[in-house]
Each structure stands twice: as structure tokens, then as C-alpha cells.
Chains A and B, each alone.
Chain A
């Protein structure tokens, strides 16, 4: 691992061992623009983008004593940012407009990439089927959970105890897990379908 760029290692060493603020300023200055563009393309809202970048840089500094100075710095930061963005999509901070936008985007993406289309359609089918056969309360609780309501909010809205909501969610996720495992086993047989679909697409 001798080929790590000298400059990264120097910055990281200074930050880790001497809490060197000017080295951190240099690192920030060098990295911020790419990270900003990466986040802005995915989060869109300027305020949310800024919050995420702040988090990223503050946490990096807070964890400075445990970092590996040999690491590939840009890749590490981008990887960390990716998980922050995924977390953001899953949080109640993400706005409806953004999630709707990406929902449609993923859908059109899989249509242009038939190898992923199958995965998507399987997931959709499985999801709809499982929701169909769930008891109504369980389905309602699950859908509310996906709308990022807290357990307490769901309990209040539905007039149930928090424990009941929790039990229902556990059971619902068990069912979905089981359905997905079943789907995986069946997947090997469906490539032929994919081919037929791809041929159909091409002939149009």
C-alpha cells in the first residue's frame, strides 16, 4: 500500500495524530466540490444537501483518531456520503416530492436496463401480493410505517397500543422476508422470460 497519494496520507496523519485543523481545511477544500455535486444531484434541496455535507465533515473530524491514514480518501468520503444519502431517503426528512421523483426515476431506469427490470417487477409483484393477503390492520400499519410515521404516531392514528403496532410490524416483515426468499429460489427459471421481453422491446 505504498502508492497512497502522499498528500492524502500527510493530511490524514496530521489530522489523526495532531488534530491539525489546517490540514483538515486543506482536505475540505480539496474534496468538498465533488462531494457537493454528488449530494446535490441526489438530494436536490440545497438546505438538505448542506446539512448532509456538514454532518459528513463534522463526523469525519470527530472520528479522526480512529481513521486509517492509508485509506483511499476520496473513495472513503464518497462511500460514507452514499450511506448518508441512503439514510436520508429512508428518514422522515426526505420530502414527498423528492421520493416521488426518484420513484419514477428508478422505474424508468429499470425499463431501460432490462436486467434490473426483472428484479424490480418481482419485488413489486411480491409486495402487492403480500399486501393483499395481509390482515387489514397489519397492511395499514406497514403502509403508515413506510410513510415514515413513528410507532407512536401509528398507534395514535389507529387507536392501537404501541406494542400491538410493533407486533404487527414484526410479523409483516417476517412475511415479506419469507416471500422474498421464495422469490429468490424461483428466480433461476425466469431468465427465459427476460429474453422474450428484451426481444419484444427490440422489435418495437
Chain B
């Protein structure tokens, strides 16, 4: 007889397959399923030509000659590669991660395109090179659609926060420009954060190696679990390690504050609810917060938790909420 975990798994998958799952269950299965992309590829090898031979042998159509050989495909591989080059760079997909809509084509009129999110929104952008970008709330990512991928793959984070999963291409560096910082990688994943409300720009690395440079000098080469904070005012930078498990929870609509200052709290609140949070005095501004901020929770409930942590009170002034 199965254990409980196995029963729940099978029940969940069964409901999903039969279109009987609730929205939350479907969401769980979809997210979990997508997360498996980060699993290691099992050892063992599948031969491209062998598989193709077997597929061909099962396709019983006179027009499907058995003689097509994949092994002398070098010539047409080049031809395919050439034609792909032509269409690469004009095509970007824009997936709405929140509502789970299907891929949707985006018409590209100008030579660049700005992907943008508002309060409480997240968006997934698939770039022409196969790299994946997830945008946090109130973020703008600019991509030059004509030059992208010609030489290097350059994008510009104009505002906000984005997680980049970069498709490996040793010949073409992937570069994220953020005000005076420039982050250069070949194939890896990392998050860049630059909100106007915060003094610091940060780059956090999840896999691979990432090179971060200022306007004139190299600031550092970061590895997995390392993060750089660059102050826009003082132009100083610091390196830290960070928590890999919660740093990107915003991609699922949650922000974990961990001994975070008031500015970080106010930012998370603004991103989630569009509400301006203000500290009435220096005492409140210096208090630290450890809590999750999630849009799934109503604003009154979140505000209540915020107040309780330091036994503060709050009052509303227009769109602002003052904590005192």
C-alpha cells in the first residue's frame, strides 16, 4: 500500500489530467512541473539519428522516403543556422506569468521594445536566444530587437527587478546594463535589482559566474550564492552571501523580508499593493522587519502584521499610509 505522499501525488496528477483540479491545484502542478527544468539531466544518452530512424520507420507514408540521412546533415545544418540568424532578433515572446495565458506574439514596430510591469504584476519574457527573463512588479526591461544577438546579447534594466536565466552561448556574452553597472555572463542565472526608491543596485547569482563592472572598473566576479550591492550615492560596493531559497520568491508573488530596513518594506508594499508606506519618524525608519509580503494576503491583514511587529500604529493620508 502506498504512503500518503504517493497518494496525494497520484490524486493531484489524476485530477490535473482529468481537468478536475481546482485552480490552486493546477497552479501547484504547473509550477512544480516547470521547476523540474532545474533538475539535473539524467545520465544516459539518446542518439539523435537512431531516434529519427525509429520515428521514420513508424511513419508509413509513401512521401516519406527512408533515405533521408541525418548524419550528412552538416550542410543543411548550416543552412538552417543561417536562416535562423535572419529571424533571430526580431522575435520576442511575451508570456503573462500571472494569468497563465498562452504564448502571445508581440508585434515589433520600433527597433527596440520595452517590457513593462505595473503594481502587483509579474511577467515572463522569452528572448530570441532562448533566454528567459522574469520581471518583478514596476519593472522596465529594454531590448534592442535589431542588434540583440548580432554580436553580444545586450538588454537594459531601466527600473525594477528581473531574474535572468541565460541560455549558454560561449560566443555571445549576455549583458545587462543597469545605470552605471554592467553585468556580463555567458550562460547562467541571476537577479538584478534597481528600484528608484532604494539607494542600492544589487546583482545576485544563482548559477554560474557573473562579472559585474562599474562605469570604469571591474567590481567583481560573483559565484552562486553571492550578491553585490552597489550604492548609487556613494559609488561604493559590498559583497555578501544571500539566501538562495528565498531571494527569488518574488517570482511567485512573495517577498521575504529578513531583518530588512523600512525602505525595503515600503518597496515590497508598493510593488504588491501600490500603496506608499512612510515612516513618521527616525525611530520607525530604523526598525527592521522579518516577514513575508504576499499579495495573496489582503492589505488590511498585511498592515496589521506590519503594525504588530514593533507595536506601531498607522494612519491613512490619501494613498499614503504613515507608520508611527
A46 contact from B36, B44, B73, B252, Cβ within 8 A = B44
Establish whether residues A143 and B32, one from each chain, have CB atoms under 8 Å apart when the complex forms. no
Q: How far is the CB of A204 from chain B (nearest CB, A)?
A: 12
Establish whether residues A29 and B28, one from each chain, have CB atoms under 8 Å apart when the complex forms. no
Which residues of the partner chain A approach B70 to less than 8 Å between Cβ atoms?
25, 29
A21 at interface (Cβ–Cβ under 8 A)?
A: yes
A26 at interface (Cβ–Cβ under 8 A)?
A: yes
A21 contact from B39, B54, B63, Cβ within 8 A = B63
A158 at interface (Cβ–Cβ under 8 A)?
A: no
A53 at interface (Cβ–Cβ under 8 A)?
A: yes
Which residues of the partner chain A approach B64 to less than 8 Å between Cβ atoms?
19, 21, 24, 61
A156 at interface (Cβ–Cβ under 8 A)?
A: no
Which residues of the partner chain B approach A106 to less than 8 Å between Cβ atoms?
5, 8-9, 12, 28, 32
**Interface residue tally for chain B (C-beta within 8 Å):** 81
- Residue on A with the closest CB to B13? A89
Beta-carbon contacts under 8 Å, B72-127 to A: 73, 76-77, 80, 83-84, 86-87, 90-91, 93, 102-103, 105-108
- Residue on B with the closest CB to A196? B305
Beta-carbon contacts under 8 Å, B1-53 to A: 1-14, 16-17, 20, 22, 24-25, 27-28, 31-33, 35-37, 39-42, 44-46, 48, 51-52
Interface string of A107-130 (1 = CB under 8 A from B): 101101111101110011001100
Establish whether residues A202 and B291, one from each chain, have CB atoms under 8 Å apart when the complex forms. yes
Which residues of the partner chain B approach A184 to less than 8 Å between Cβ atoms?
22
Which segment, of B156-164, B267-275, B277-285, B294-302, faces chain A? B294-302
Q: How far is the CB of B241 from chain A (nearest CB, A)?
A: 18
Q: How far is the CB of B47 from chain A (nearest CB, A)?
A: 9
B68 at interface (Cβ–Cβ under 8 A)?
A: yes
Interface string of A127-141 (1 = CB under 8 A from B): 110000000000000
Establish whether residues A119 and B8, one from each chain, have CB atoms under 8 Å apart when the complex forms. no
B149 at interface (Cβ–Cβ under 8 A)?
A: no
Establish whether residues B4 and A124, one from each chain, have CB atoms under 8 Å apart when the complex forms. yes
Which residues of the partner chain A approach B290 to less than 8 Å between Cβ atoms?
202-203
Which segment, of B177-185, B224-232, B253-261, faces chain A? B253-261
Establish whether residues B7 and A127, one from each chain, have CB atoms under 8 Å apart when the complex forms. yes
Q: How far is the CB of B31 from chain A (nearest CB, A)?
A: 7
Establish whether residues A22 and B68, one from each chain, have CB atoms under 8 Å apart when the complex forms. yes
B217 at interface (Cβ–Cβ under 8 A)?
A: no
If A72-B103, A195-B301 touch, does A40 touch B42 (CB 8 Å cutoff)? yes
Establish whether residues A21 and B68, one from each chain, have CB atoms under 8 Å apart when the complex forms. yes
Which residues of the partner chain B approach A123 to less than 8 Å between Cβ atoms?
8, 11-12, 25
CA distance A20 to B8 in the complex (A): 46
B208 at interface (Cβ–Cβ under 8 A)?
A: no
Task: Give the one of B10, B27, B40, B249 with max A CB within 10 A.
Answer: B10
Establish whether residues B87 and A28, one from each chain, have CB atoms under 8 Å apart when the complex forms. no
Q: How far is the CB of B272 from chain A (nearest CB, A)?
A: 13
CA distance A68 to B67 in the complex (A): 28
- Residue on A with the closest CB to B92? A3
A160 at interface (Cβ–Cβ under 8 A)?
A: no
Beta-carbon contacts under 8 Å, A34-57 to B: 36-38, 40-42, 44, 46, 49-50, 53-54, 57
B171 at interface (Cβ–Cβ under 8 A)?
A: no
A67 at interface (Cβ–Cβ under 8 A)?
A: no
B54 contact from A20, A54, A61, A120, Cβ within 8 A = A54
If A29-B73, A99-B6, A116-B31 touch, does A146 touch B107 (CB 8 Å cutoff)? no
CA distance A113 to B251 in the complex (A): 11
Which residues of the partner chain A approach B6 to less than 8 Å between Cβ atoms?
99-100, 103
Establish whether residues A3 and B90, one from each chain, have CB atoms under 8 Å apart when the complex forms. yes
